[in-house]
Amino acid sequence: MFYWLGYGVILILGAALGGSSLVWLRRRPGESTGITRLVENISLALLVFFLTFMLVELGFKLFFAQSDGFRYTLASQNWYERYWQENSLGYRDVEWTPEKLAGKTKVMVVGDSFVAGSGIANPQDRFSNQLGRLLGDNYAVLNVASPGWDTVDEVEAILNYPYRPDMLVLSYYINDIEGTAYQTGAQRPQIRQDPPTWLLPLVQNSYAVNFLYWRIIRLGPQEWAEVYWNDWLKKISTNPDILWQHQEELLKIIDGAASEQIPLFVVVFPNLAAVNESQPFIQPVIDLFQTHEVPVLDVSKLLAGRDPATTTVNAIDSHPNEAINREVAERLYQMIIQQSQKISTEQP
């Protein structure tokens, strides 16, 4: 509402000021000279530029919505406003009720933005929803996820969810250790490059300027990547105290599922823009789950040798696209069926 009010006021005032200036210049008494004609032409050019900019601004606001990896561009906010709806529990999922779940095997898929579907406009294209279609009507797949979550948040969400799952699928991403690091007092370095003070109001409020600014920033040196990967993520992932505490959190999920006799499956995602570089971060996690005989889907094996342009939602958002979500759902479905068959054969 405030955006449209501001847009309308600026458009009316700018057009009125520019138009009245032109009228005054052309009707002012006296002979027209080269200087007055130059002033008129400059005024006309400024008015045309202003109106063109306002038209472009309107186009970006109404028609351009694109997710990004950090959710701070106005285009990304546009995307979330357009495609992101949540249920009463705060999840991007249907409104589950005891009646809808009656007689169904409840499969809880818990995770962060990779599960919630950042960059996926239609929730039906997420791997959780596609898994639900593969499993059939006797199953209900519950999407319990939120962007920015880490393992600490996910443990709490599992415990507080109103419906007990019959199966649990944990999605793990390489930065899920961050929550553990915060608990030990570690602070993530600033990675966002804010605009200079004089430009900040325009970047924060103009969709066109915001788009142009962040595109230019991305053309320059990406120092934030070096800071995030080497000065932060690598540091906390190799810290013995943080790593031990993080493993304890993962063991809590393993032991909790085992004690409740809930089959557990794990999907491990690398950074889709740097699959090979992600291996040192995800391999210890994969090893931990496999040591406890938990079935693990290592998504990096699906992505080996592929161009990130074919696996991510767009050039500035490295979340998995619809095709990768489909592949994950298919592999996960096979794992669940195999595990179910194994359990049934072991029962007397």
Residue 336 in any domain: the answer is yes
How many other C-beta atoms lie within 10 A of the C-beta of residue 259?
A: 8
Query: Are residues 100 and 28 located together in one domain of the fold?
Result: no
CB 272 within 8 A of CB 173: no
Q: Which of 13, 29, 63 is the last residue of a domain?
A: 63
Domain membership flag for residue 258 = yes
- Does one domain contain both 105 and 151? yes
Q: What is the DSSP letter of 49?
A: H
Residues spanned by the domain of 162: 86-189+223-346
Domain boundary among the residues 23, 48, 63 is at 63
The candidate with the shortest Cα–Cα distance to 180, out of 115, 270, 248, 116, is: 248
Q: 148 and 268 share a domain?
A: yes
On whether both 232 and 183 belong to a single domain, the answer is: yes
244 shares its domain with 142: yes
241 and 294 within one domain: yes
Please report whether residue 276 resides in a domain: yes
**Whether residues 239 and 326 fall in one domain:** yes
pLDDT of residue 149: 96
Same domain? For 331 and 260 the reply is yes
pTM score above 0.75: yes
Is 34 inside any structural domain?
yes
User: Tokens representing 54?
Assistant: 């306002």
In a domain, 137, yes or no: yes
Cα distance between the two ends of the chain: 64
The pLDDT of residue 348 is 58
Instruction: Show the low-confidence residues of the chain (pLDDT under 70).
Output: 25, 28-34, 220-222, 343-348
Token pair 């519950």 in the structure block, residue: 142
Please check whether residues 142 and 18 belong to one and the same domain.
no
68 within a domain of the structure (yes/no): no
Whether residue 175 sits in one domain with residue 43 = no
User: Measured on CA atoms in the order 233, 238, 241, 244, is the torsion positive or negative?
Assistant: positive
> Do 129 and 55 fall within a single domain?
no
> Quick one: 12 and 153 in the same domain?
no
Select from 63, 78, 95 the last residue of a domain. 63
In a domain, 214, yes or no: no
Q: What pLDDT does 228 receive?
A: 83
Identify the CATH number of the domain in which residue 105 sits: 3.40.50.1110
Task: Please answer whether residues 61 and 78 qualify as being in contact, where contact means their C-beta atoms are separated by less than 8 angstroms.
Answer: yes
In Å, how far are 90, 152, 177, 236 from 186, measured between CA atoms? Answer: 28, 15, 11, 8
CB contact at 8 A, 262 and 168: yes
Number of domains in the chain: 2
Residue 44 pLDDT? 85
- Whether 154 is in a domain gets the answer yes
